[in-house]
Structure 1
Amino acid sequence: MSRNRKKRILLSLFSVGLVCFVWFEGSKETARLDKDDYPIWMEMMEEPNVNLEEAARAFDAYWDNHAHYRGDKSKKFERWYEANRKRLDQNGNVISAAQVRNEYQRMRELTAAAQEGKWFNYGPVNVGRTVDGDPRNGGRVKDVAFHPTDPNTFYVSCFKSGFFKTTDAGSTWSQMTDHLSEEVYISKLKTADPNTIYLGTNLGVLKSINGGADWASTGLSTYKTNALLIKPDNEDIILVGNEVGIYRSINAGESFTQVKSASLVEELRIHPTNNNIIYASTNGSGYGSTADRDSQFFRSVDGGVTWTENSTDFGDGSFMKLAVTPAKPDYVYAINTRDYDGQNSFEGVYKSTDAGVTFTKQSGDTPCITGYDDSGAISRGQPNYNLFIVSDPNNSDIIYAGGVKSWKSVDGGVNWTQAFNNVTALGFGLHLDQLTWAYSPVNDQLYAVNDGGIYFLNEDSKFQTITDGLPIAEVWECTQSQVNKENVAGGTFHAGIKLNRNGVWYS
């Protein structure tokens, strides 16, 4: 948040001797507030209609008694505050994403008139090179999904920027959700009918039956949905992981039933050869006591109808992600982070050889593959945001994993070497903050997605960016030259400053 805003709030607090009270529901939350070390403002950011200034007072009161550290989520709060301070109702409450969606849809239904003005996407559409020629700051890509038979056709989910499709292996991209207000986190296609696509969004699950030309709500139109799975042997069965648990549909998304209650389910994986064995893991978010915020691992052996938790094989963690491989169908890899144990964000990488029944720890602590440090020294990283693990489909010992940066193991996760710096086709490093890496099931091509865009591992074992053509840089503020009107500069979220000079974009 701006220094002036914080100063204004602090002066107000001191001038009237105000004690900061935050509205809660239930005795559990009230008890938590009594703890001096409880950052309630983290939870308030997730409330759809929170009062902005109440959240700001809670934020300032917390940091009056705590020292800042890298990755402490204060920057996330400041961005959230800045984005929402102009989006408030008459009572100072944040206008929820559901309200925005409903009003936008109502507006589209009420007016059939063409949009006034000649609006077009000025950019940046291409990444824009830095002064040393490094093209890695395109914008956030959360997930990549693949056409079941065509290796040149795949899809990317890009948070606020929406959902995009390529049919030429990333040379060009088409926007599929320009008329939607939802953020897009993940997508899945039916193998039998690739024109049927499901999207996981900040407002539940959307479905298209015509290749993304039109989208309709499903039986689940609430909750942030970061995990999706279509059961291969019966594609009318859809499994969803969201803020409050795991949901299951048996009628292609027309209706859903909650089959497991859990906080922030962010990963669903299926056994490569047994369609009834499914795995799930969660993001503890680092809130509350240790017991409240641990990551969790769940396993189902009946196609997602019932679930059991393994809480004994893993150390205390805050976020867990999973990988499986057809090279060893009974293998399951898990990477687990921690967000409340000093500076060490890497809890460990685990391996199961019995389809998720038991796990053995392969590595942990150092090298700290989830942290900031290039050498792998212990560091915090951002263990509740960026995390991934993926296993080679032909060699189960080859694993890529990490958080802020990326690492590689060739012995099943026991030892790690950095696979981040000097790994691109032009000799640079990948963009920071790795999210979901994946192998194409059609040709085993490895794709890396992160806060800077999307890359693929080429035949020279170098990562090559294919982010150009994706207009996904989230521009928060912009300015225009008064001398040359075509010259525009903007500050972006995770992609640096973009400058258009004489029709060419630079970073």
Structure 2
Amino acid sequence: MKKTIWAGVMLTALLTGLILSAPASAQNAVNDTANHPYWVEMMQDPSANFFETQKAFNTYWEGREITKGSGYKPFKRWEYMMQQRVSADGTRPAADRDIRAYNEYISRNSSRTSAGNWTPLGPFTVPSGYNGYRGLGRVNAIAFHPTDANTIYIGAPSGGFWQTHDGGQTWESYTDILPTLGVSAIAVDYANPDVIYMGTGDRDAGDAPGLGVWKSLNGGYSWEVSSNGMGNATVGRLLIHPGFNNIILAATSNGFYKSVDAGANWVKKANGNFKEVVFKPGNPDIVYAAVGGTFYRSTDNGETFTVISNGLSGGSRGVIGVSPADPEVVYFLVTNSDSYKGIYRSNDSGLSFTLRSTTPNIMAWDCNGGSGGQAWYDLDISVDPENPDIIHAGGVNIFKSTNGGTNWFITAHWYGGCGVQSVHADLHVLEYNPLNNRLYAGNDGGVYWTANGGQSWTEISNGLVISQAYKIGQSATNKNFVINGYQDNGTSTYTGTEWIAVGGGDGMECAFDPTDDRYSYSTVYYGSINRIFNHNSQGQIAGQGSNGITESGAWVTPFLIDHFDGNVMFIGYKNVWRSTNIKAG
């Protein structure tokens, strides 16, 4: 390939992704942000100032190595999304801002209708290629019909609530009209499966606002808000009492809530950012919950809680696993902000714990763990319902233990290395279907299941229109040609009849040549730009260390093609750069 010539234009690149300057008040960050990742807690706290959160993140990462799966990228995604929405002083928008504005508009324009003429274009199917690297979108929640094994429900962080009635061959959704499309928890009434509760918001990354619990009375075809007393919380987990289906427990971003009237009203029972709640099998009076790496135990069905510290030493985030095969056994998998701290086992229903292992680092991206991880973002655990010694857990990849957490080995890898099958990176939920004992996994690419303990995995993501698009580009000469960049699922081009994968990683800014639709361009983070010809990638033409460029740009780096000359491109890195022969080679 001929070397593409880039010329640096010495201008301050204010183009680089809506860079905002922090006000003076934002300089007072949390103490010791250089050594403790306070930014994790701050980004998930709606009241935390955006600029202070941004500064805490930058201070923590100054001088640190940014490794794969370190958690750096999920924050940068959140930062890019949030910086376009905050006020000048760094105040974040209220969770219900949009629905309040909508309701006010409708009240002033009563003759208007909310109906629209929109048709989904997809992507509907996972692009060709190894599926551990390409998928459709992130899944935060999985739930099951109480009597029909083929009816499964999933929740996406910005794609809504979806259901299948044929085991995942086809999917359908009826939540596109809701004021938030973030779903992180689902609970199905075992006595009347037409009644479904949905916990809104994005538990793991804050990509969608939380508006409490919503309820459906017709199997998910229509929804009404059901969060009186809870308010605009992000709901991370929901449980229905197995003996009294009007009693529901909710782990939320602003406390632990309980309803005794089927979700009509909620009462806060404990303060804190709860992300986990689990019943003791066979005894719902005993409830386990977690705030960060702190383990909570209740003996009165969530009315009151006691912090359990016997054998535990805290951490940044923890998840809880139990098995009906031995109700006395409880696992508490605890992480630091990034890596695996350890798994603890209780044999007395959570009164005391014993450390089982601290290695390997099952949060990391390598075959044997490695260093780093992003446990604050991707984490879950599930214990075999027939054997309390068999555990599946992970973060970037999925690991398994057959001796109660003492030893671990990998069962799914993000691109199919390590002698195991490829399963898309970044695990968010693991759930056993009690009707067929299949283990289901939700991750940044979609949904998978295994019926043989992780020896093989089947993907059932096709049909889920849940991709999170960074940018969209349309050809000026062929209206059917559209190119999209997706969070963690590459870049794809729509040809009018199908989607074709044209790039990997995080797909970002993208565009077609203004006069020749055979050429298009895609990017990944910090401004690495690829040229595409007839929907086939021809490789990188720009980015730090490429064709004379000596600097990188913003997380989403902007570029512009000359409207009259498709050979000319401008890119905003630290400076603005220009090429006059981007088609060379």
TM-score by length of structure 2 reads 0.74
Kept in 2, the 8 Å contact 1:153–1:165? The answer is yes
Kept in 2, the 8 Å contact 1:129–1:135? The answer is no
Kept in 2, the 8 Å contact 1:128–1:135? The answer is no
- Please say if 1:416 is aligned against 2:447: no
Unaligned runs of 5+ in 1: 14-18, 25-29, 284-294
- CA distance 1:268–1:501, change in 2 (3 Å): same
- Please say if 1:452 is aligned against 2:462: no
- Could you tell which deviates more after superposition, 487-496 or 497-506? 497-506
2:438 and 2:18 mapped to 1: Cα distance? 53
AA aligned to 1:390 is S
AA aligned to 1:188 is A
Cα deviation, residue 141, structure 1: 0.4
- Please say if 1:320 is aligned against 2:318: yes
- Please say if 1:226 is aligned against 2:236: yes
- Could you tell which deviates more after superposition, 461-470 or 493-502? 493-502
Kept in 1, the 8 Å contact 2:132–2:423? The answer is no
In structure 2, the partner of 1:280 is 289
- Could you tell which deviates more after superposition, 140-149 or 411-420? 411-420
Cα deviation, residue 133, structure 1: 7.0
- CA distance 1:486–1:357, change in 2 (3 Å): same
Mapping 1:13-412, distance limit 5 Å: 20-22=24-26, 32-33=30-31, 37=35, 42=40, 45-46=43-44, 48=46, 56=54, 62=59, 66-70=63-67, 73-88=71-86, 93-107=91-105, 110-111=109-110, 113=112, 118-130=117-129, 136-182=134-180, 183-201=182-200, 202-218=210-226, 219=228, 220-262=230-272, 264-283=273-292, 295-339=293-337, 345-364=339-358, 366-377=359-370, 379-412=371-404
2:17 and 2:194 mapped to 1: Cα distance? 53
- Could you tell which deviates more after superposition, 366-375 or 317-326? 366-375
1:347 and 1:57 mapped to 2: Cα distance? 26
Q: Which whole-Å deviations, capped at 9, do the CAs of 1:281-337 have from their partners, x for residues lacking one?
A: 123xxxxxxxxxxx1101111111111111231234111001111111211112111
- CA distance 1:6–1:86, change in 2 (3 Å): closer
- CA distance 1:483–1:40, change in 2 (3 Å): same
2:224 and 2:467 mapped to 1: Cα distance? 26
Mapping 1:478-489, distance limit 5 Å: 478-489=472-483
- Higher helix content, 1 or 2: 1
Kept in 1, the 8 Å contact 2:71–2:377? The answer is no
Question: How much is the aligned-residue C-alpha RMSD, in angstroms?
Answer: 3.1
In structure 2, the partner of 1:504 is 498
Q: Which whole-Å deviations, capped at 9, do the CAs of 1:191-237 have from their partners, x for residues lacking one?
A: 11111111111121111222222222222232211021111111111
1:300 and 1:481 mapped to 2: Cα distance? 59
Higher RCO (CA 8 Å, separation ≥ 6 residues): 2
Q: Which whole-Å deviations, capped at 9, do the CAs of 1:107-161 have from their partners, x for residues lacking one?
A: 456456456874311111212113x576841100011001111101110010111
AA aligned to 2:397 is K
Instruction: Give me the identity figure in percent.
Output: 34
Kept in 1, the 8 Å contact 2:428–2:442? The answer is yes
2:32 and 2:433 mapped to 1: Cα distance? 49
Cα deviation, residue 375, structure 1: 2.1
- CA distance 1:47–1:400, change in 2 (3 Å): closer
Q: Which whole-Å deviations, capped at 9, do the CAs of 1:417-470 have from their partners, x for residues lacking one?
A: 11013879x984111111111111122111111111001114694211100000
Kept in 2, the 8 Å contact 1:348–1:363? The answer is yes
Counterpart of 1:474 (choices 456, 468, 473) is: 468
Kept in 2, the 8 Å contact 1:157–1:186? The answer is yes
In structure 2, the partner of 1:289 is none
- Could you tell which deviates more after superposition, 456-465 or 243-252? 456-465
Q: Secondary structure at the match of 1:22?
A: helix
